[in-house]
Amino acid sequence: MAAASVERAQAPPLSGDQLLEMYRQMWRIRFFEQAVVDLYKQGLVRGSAHPYSGMEAVAVGACAAIRDTDLITSTHRGHGHGLAKGLDPRLMMAEILGKAAGYCKGKGGSMHVTSPSHGMLGADGVVAGSTAIAAGAAFGARLLGHEAVVLCFFGDGAANQGVLFESLNLASVLRLPVIYICENNLWALSTPTSTSTGVPDVAARADGFGMPGRIVDGQDALAVYDAVHQATARARAGGGPSLLECKTYRFHSHSAFATREPRPPDEIAAWKARDPIRLLAERLTRADSASEAQLAEAEERERRLVDEAVDFAKNAPDPDPSEAFDDVYASGNGSASRAAAGARIGE
């Protein structure tokens, strides 16, 4: 059965300044991710990092369609989501390098950046882990009388996890204002979705939960903006959740740690030919929304911004070891938390 269409509410046109800001944000994410990979190779990023390069149109287009007071949940590949939601690249980079100036004081790292004050409810290293958080956040906002809509980003791997289905079902039953956005980049670490998923389109699963589903060109920031705006308008009107599947592609291997590229070179080249940043630039110049000089200046500005973020993070102080257990537990002061943690590990 084909997925139902998301009800179409005409998205308001974006001004030239808004379009140029989207272009800047996409370069910000691209340069940021390049810097993270370089820092990883220098041994300055602990664990691993999962670049978002190539998928910038999804985060930027989606976040352009929501309000500052709306919320998002993210994934292990979440740097782009945070930057598109307005997080400071300096504090983001500090967090990734494990510095005290980071959003989570260095305790979250690359896969767990969180900033509730920005409506960023957190990235999650557990595949599909944030999908239930999105439903809970939407329900909580309703109980508190807030009008927040929640964007729930997840990948094609999460599309086969049970927690996602539980979340979709609950959101449908309660008509929660959640927009589920599948970033289908076609590959897991080394497995194509064609060999792991029984249906070609994740959006088709929306029918099973009584909600609209829609496939979106994930390389086109304006197509994503339009689809998310329509879905959020429906959600704000009490229509409940929607499932959007953005067909996209990551330009880097699965992670900064990955040493082998399983994807065919011609497939990679075909997708890079549809670089979302270049596609938006072409739209801007065709519509006379920005000149070549303005685009070049925007690109260079974002390069400098990320360079400054790297310098800030490198020079930021490391966390104080005495604060290792602070902010980890919901209640109790730091010393009590440390004592409790010590008892749990046999100290």
Instruction: Average the pLDDT over 152-177 and give the result.
Output: 97
Helix (H) or strand (E) holding 340: helix 334-344
- Is residue 336 assigned to a domain? no
What one-character-per-residue DSSP string does 61-83 give? HHHHTS-TT-EEE--TT-HHHHH
- pLDDT at residue 184 tops 50: yes
- Output the domain CATH number for residue 147: 3.40.50.970
Q: Which residues, 6 or more positions from 299, have their beta carbon under 8 angstroms from its beta carbon?
A: 27
Read off the pLDDT of residues 189-204 as tens digits, 9 standing for 90 and up: 999 999 999 998 999 9
The residue type found at 230 is: Q
Range of the domain at 294: 16-316
The pLDDT of residue 346 is: 38
- pLDDT at residue 7 tops 70: no
Q: What whole-number distance in Å separates Cα of residue 57 and Cα of residue 276? A: 6
- Is residue 47 assigned to a domain? yes
Query: What is the Cα Rg of the chain in Å?
Result: 20
The pLDDT of residue 258 is: 87
- Is residue 81 assigned to a domain? yes
- Is residue 142 assigned to a domain? yes
The pLDDT of residue 332 is: 55
- pLDDT at residue 18 tops 60: yes
The pLDDT of residue 327 is: 83
User: In Å, what is the CA distance from 317 to each residue of 40, 95, 210?
Assistant: 18, 11, 50
- Is residue 321 assigned to a domain? no
- Res. 2 pLDDT band, cuts 50 70 90: very low
Instruction: Average the pLDDT over 323-346 and give the result.
Output: 58
User: In Å, what is the CA distance from 322 to each residue of 63, 253, 333?
Assistant: 37, 37, 13
- pLDDT at residue 5 tops 90: no
Read off the pLDDT of residues 26-85 as tens digits, 9 standing for 90 and up: 999 999 999 999 999 999 999 899 999 999 999 999 999 999 999 999 999 999 999 999
3-class secondary-structure state, position 192: strand
Structure tokens at 40: 């990883």
Q: For the chain, what is the domain count? A: 1
The pLDDT of residue 8 is: 55
Read off the pLDDT of residues 288-304 as tens digits, 9 standing for 90 and up: 999 999 999 999 999 99
- Is residue 327 assigned to a domain? no
- pLDDT at residue 340 tops 60: no
- Is residue 299 assigned to a domain? yes
Q: What whole-number distance in Å separates Cα of residue 131 and Cα of residue 115? A: 17
Tell me the torsion sign for CA atoms 29, 247, 242, 214: positive
Read off the pLDDT of residues 228-253 as tens digits, 9 standing for 90 and up: 999 999 999 999 999 999 999 999 99
More confident residue, 5 or 328: 328
Answer for the pair 240, 177: CB distance below 8 angstroms, yes or no.
yes
17, with CB counted inside 10 A (0-12, 13-18, 19+), is: exposed
- Res. 344 pLDDT band, cuts 50 70 90: very low
User: In Å, what is the CA distance from 89 to each residue of 26, 86, 92, 103, 302?
Assistant: 13, 9, 5, 10, 10
Read off the pLDDT of residues 267-285 as tens digits, 9 standing for 90 and up: 999 999 999 999 999 999 9
pTM: 0.92
- Is residue 260 assigned to a domain? yes
The pLDDT of residue 93 is: 98
Q: What whole-number distance in Å separates Cα of residue 119 and Cα of residue 82? A: 9
Answer for the pair 106, 95: CB distance below 8 angstroms, yes or no.
yes
